[in-house]
Amino acid sequence: MAIDADDLFGAPPAKKPATHELGTDLSALSEAEIEERIGALQSEIERLRRTLESKRASRTAADTFFKR
């Protein structure tokens, strides 16, 4: 019978989420953690904008191609 390490030592401590979840409590974060999240969110916004632009360009090309 195998022994589960969690049974011997308890469950591992909860880790902070790797990403930001909208609406979460920010009071426990340090200034550095907040700045890090802001940078990550700004990068994600730029990625979303590039994807949106690409999708709009594809739609425009398809509309032009299928226009009668």
Specify the pLDDT at position 58: 95
Q: What is the pLDDT of residue 35?
A: 96
The whole-number average pLDDT for the span 1-11 is: 67
Write the DSSP string, 1-63. Answer: -PPPHHHHH-SPPPPPPSS--TT---TT--HHHHHHHHHHHHHHHHHHHHHHHHHHHHHHHHH
Q: pTM of the prediction?
A: 0.64
Does the pLDDT at position 62 exceed 80?
Answer: yes
> pLDDT category, 29, cuts 50, 70, 90?
very high
**22 Ramachandran zone, left/alpha/beta (phi>0; psi -120 to 50):** beta
Query: For residue 38, what pLDDT is reported?
Result: 96
